[in-house]
Chain A
Amino acid sequence: MIAYLVLFLVIAAVIAYFVASRRAVAVAGDDTRGLHSRPIYHGLNALVYTAVPAFIFILLWLLFEGSVIDMMLMSAYPGADAMTGSERDLLISEIRQVAVGNIFREPTPEITAAVEQIRSLNATANILLGAAVVIIALAGAALAVTSVSKRFLARHSFERSVTIFMIFASTVAILTTIGIVASLLYEAFQFFQRVPVTDFLFGLRWEPQIPLREDQIAGQGAFGAIPVFVGTILVAALAMAVAVPVGILSAIYLTEYASPRFRAVVKPMLEILAGIPTVVYGFFAVLTVAPALRQAGLSLGLDVAPNSAIAAGGVMGIMLIPFISSLSDDAFAAVPQAIRDGSLAVGATKGETIRKVLLPAALPGIVGGVLLALSRAIGETMIVVMAAGLIAKMTVNPLDSVTTVTVQIVTLLIGDSEFDNPKTLAAFALGLMLFIITLFLNLIALRVVRKYREKY
């Protein structure tokens, strides 16, 4: 149905384009210079007027059709008021399945009635939508085509439409942020109604596997996020311990010591490390790094967990090397040559120049880069999902298995979309924390770079 409507819109818009531009030519007579706008603008204007309002109408309709029909169904269904949200969702999906012909068991009379209703509702909705779209499109086309005249400012009208689209496009970024904040706050608020904020922020036990039914035997559920935060910080710290020294040292070598040819070959190769998808790093950690570390630990008499923090953190550190390296590179490049020359002229060696002059001068840029990398490490998901543990432990032992915020978000939400139990809502509370922390780190990083950058 929708596909046919879109096809109709496309055809109608193209026809409107040709009709309007022909008409503009006809109106102009022999001398097209008499027209304010060239015929193509009359055509384009008609095209926009025909297709765009109707298309927006289709999108809005699609957004609200499902929930309106659900509401009408449930208001007619006997006993629906007494149901919980998930029971209602289950019922609705059963009705929809039966309506399209997937019958798993003999439907009850109520469901059969509801199916009849949903079919008639769907049919009505389709007719209404089709009629409305045709009317809107034809009205737009008629308006645009009839307004074609010598003095009609078709170019202005079309450019106004383009500008409106451009303004809408630039607000998408804001809408996305609003969407993120709103969804996280809303779901986290639901969570904090069931679990007090203080329990979440300061609790020392994280056991989100709660019983879903009364008779189920499971943990009681505890949502103290401190162990998860500790695990996150541990993994991020291990990643930074690998990435910061290696990244800065390689940047020093590449900017100060390497020949241009060496640099031209090695720098892109380092950048490859940043282009590899994180799921690949995750598999690499599981396949190669973790067993190797375990073997090494055994030979030293240490007990390394199979999903140790050090494997996940170390691999994450490797992923972050090019990130820190290229940001430090920029910071070194921003230090003027005169400062290097001055230091060398008073007799410092190259190494002393780097350590005592270059590094302090480039420090704000480097610190900013490290903070950005830290925010990435905290938000990084796939490596830890595959290589770190699931159980939250209060430990800072890098050989032990820990869990992180992102691991918990993913494991709590995979295969689960019911938003009415604390287990899934907890993921949104963690997501909110993650969003706030990374936002702060990014803002601080940008500020550090801006404020403390030496002006030469």
Chain B
Amino acid sequence: MSNAAETPTIPRPAWKSPEMAARRRKRYAADRRLQRCGMAAIVFALGFLVLLVASLLYTGASAFIQTKARVTIDLTSADVSADDLMGAPWRRIVRGSLLALEPTEIPRSDRRAYFRMFTSSAPFLVRDHVIANPDLIGKTFQFEVPFSDPLDQFAKGQISRDTPEDRRRVSNQQIGWFDNLQASGIVSKPFNWGLIFNSDSRFPELAGLAGAISGSFWTLLVCFLISFPVGIAAAIYLEEFAPKNRLTDLIEININNLAAVPSVVFGLLGLAVFLGWFGLPRSAPLVGGMVLSLMTLPTMIIVTRAALRSVPSSIREAALGIGASRHEAILHHMLPLSMPTILTGTIIGLAQALGETAPLLLIGMNAFITSPPEGVFSASTALPTQIYIWADSPERGFVSRTSAAILVLLGFLVLMNGLAVFLRNRFERRW
């Protein structure tokens, strides 16, 4: 065996030696370190997710209830007639009722501070209530008047009695009155339906999301009406009909690039082109929806193309084989089969559009508007821009309102994504 003599003998490492054992330990330790780092990274990311949701819940939960006082309004006097409800002395009536709540007579000099415990819009609330229910005229009825923001926060324990008087927004005198009211059992803390059904207001205790929710609805409706048909049509053309040439290449590159353009640039486009050149109305859900549809279009096209591609070609060939035209094969057979996937993608795209803020700010959907929009042409806000407006407001009461508004927005997002998952699981075909 001469060959064996020529191969140099490799010294076998001394695996069992202490040096090698130490080296192995080091290598395994490095291994474990990497694993722990990975775990730490996941814990870090998820920890922030938990922190985010927890801090929103913590600050936002209190905005879902509103402290109110049950006031007896007396309309038996002749001041209020059905002919001139707007002109009736609501302020005097409501203030009289408010004063009647307190067991002791409040001296004139203190009345200002007393009335400030209640929302300053109380007369208008009563007026609107009576206008909506004219049969109340000439009767005595109960009405829930919201407390103003400082008292509301005090009642929820966010302003402490122990804070020195000059460092809190509620005076000792007001606390005394409030205790009296509470003792007489007229203070209640019902669920704050106003948060959902009121429109924006300068006063936190009255501000609600109705305008923002309907603004978002109109915006998304416009966005859907544009991006859904246009996206599907573009996808069908590019996937099934387009010849392979430079123009279609350019379109493909364009679509991929558009998906990565910063959203604020779309806002600039909307501002310069839709508002500046075309003269469309500012702050309108129409323009917001148009801008958002341009942003969701790439998503729509990509999703639809993937859905069409996943339909087996036997379907198309069978349709063509029995004499359908290409259009018929696609519109009658392939499109219906891929519709669940397309709808899933559409809902996810719309959910993204619902959370989009920056482009809407640039086209002016951050205006202060106190009534819900009547249609796509009237000025309005949207949920995310309303959040931005409230986050910017100096009043303390808006902090919890903002968190609550975010929770409402996240609720809508969860609903939409849940619907998408449901559609996918229920209707999507696996070929």
Contact = CB atoms under 8 A, between A and B. Distances in A.
B278 A183 contact: no
B275 A351 contact: no
Nearest to B385: A279
B402 interface: yes
A283 B402 contact: yes
Given A63-B278, A246-B41, A166 B357 contact: no
B256 A428 contact: no
B56 A351 contact: no
Contacts of A166: 233-234, 236-237, 241
Main secondary structure of the interface of B (DSSP, over half): helix
A379 B52 contact: no
Contact of A378 (B262, B273, B275, B417): B262
Contact of A438 (B45, B241, B262, B278): B262
Interface residues on A, range: 35 or more
B234 A170 contact: yes
Interface in B32-54: 32-35, 37-42, 44-46, 48-49, 51-52
Contacts of A75: none
A207 interface: no
Given A379-B264, A417-B276, A434-B262, A173 B301 contact: yes
A375 B361 contact: no
**Interface SS, A side:** helix
Given A163-B241, A176-B297, A252-B34, A277 B255 contact: no
Interface in A159-182: 159, 162-163, 165-174, 176-177, 179-180
Interface string B276-316: 11110010000000000010011001000000000000000
Contact of B258 (A176, A272, A354, A434): A176
A283 to B, nearest CB: 5
B410 interface: yes
Contact of B260 (A67, A187, A375): A375
Contact of B56 (A284, A419, A438): A284
B372 to A, nearest CB: 19
Interface stretch (A9-17, A47-55, A405-413): A405-413
Interface string B305-345: 00000000000000000000101000100000000000000
B49 A273 contact: yes
Nearest to A277: B355
A379 B294 contact: no
Contact of A446 (B39, B256, B297): B256
B410 to A, nearest CB: 7
A173 B234 contact: yes
B406 interface: yes
B265 interface: yes
Interface in B48-84: 48-49, 51-52, 55-56, 59
Nearest to A281: B52
A276 B410 contact: yes
Nearest to A257: B35
Contacts of A177: 254, 257-258
B45 A318 contact: yes
B257 A253 contact: no
A257 B234 CA distance: 42
A249 interface: yes
A277 B413 contact: yes
B260 A372 contact: yes
Contacts of A275: 351-352, 355, 413, 417
Contact of B282 (A169, A278, A284, A417): A417
Contacts of A321: 45
A288 interface: yes
Interface stretch (B1-9, B23-31, B88-96, B139-147): B23-31
B325 A155 contact: yes
- From A246, A281, A380, residue with most partner B Cβ within 10 Å: A246
A419 B31 CA distance: 60
Nearest to A170: B234
B289 to A, nearest CB: 15
Contacts of A247: 41
B258 A170 contact: no
A354 B55 CA distance: 37
B361 A428 contact: no
B41 A176 contact: no
Contacts of B229: 169
Contacts of A339: none
B38 A439 contact: no
Interface in B165-206: none
Contacts of A186: 272
13 contacts: A172-B294, A180-B268, A183-B269, A184-B272, A246-B45, A254-B38, A257-B38, A273-B45, A349-B28, A351-B34, A352-B27, A375-B260, A435-B265
Interface of B: 27-28, 30-35, 37-42, 44-46, 48-49, 51-52, 55-56, 59, 229-231, 233-234, 236-238, 241-242, 248, 250-251, 254-258, 260-266, 268-269, 271-273, 275-279, 282, 294, 297-298, 301, 325, 327, 331, 351-352, 354-358, 361-362, 364, 366, 384, 387-388, 391, 399, 402-403, 406, 409-410, 413, 417
